Amino acid sequence: MRQRWQDWVGLVLGAWMFFSPWILGYSATAVATGNALILGVAVAVFFIVALANPRIWEEWINLALAAWIFIAPFVLQFSNVAAAAWNHWVVAVLIGIDALWAMSETAPREQHHAA
């Protein structure tokens, strides 16, 4: 299988999520920083897995991670930290779009191989 450009974009988004607390200056907010670190690594790992062997399940996981990243500022109560909250919301939407786009290119190939 050939690699998808969406997986490279997702890997960059995961790396951004990981480093964003220091870049955007919200590293003093422990819960937002912890969430960004854990989710940044998780997103990057699943996009690396997708780079090695693209499958639809990796995109479903990244879509679920994007959903968590989006709601995390509310659930973990850091929506009042503007840089952290907006970063989570924007990155979540971008990861979600990226995963959906990759799914749209993966699904037909997997269905074809299953037949």
- Residue-wise pLDDT for 75-92, tens only, equals 999 999 999 999 999 999
Domain boundaries, the chain: 5-114
CB atoms within 10 A of CB 18: 19
- Residue-wise pLDDT for 7-30, tens only, equals 889 899 999 999 999 999 999 999
- Residue-wise pLDDT for 19-64, tens only, equals 999 999 999 999 999 999 999 999 999 888 888 877 788 889 999 9
pLDDT at 48: 87
Q: Is the pTM of this model over 0.85?
A: no
The span from the CA of 77 to the CA of 10, in Å, is 26
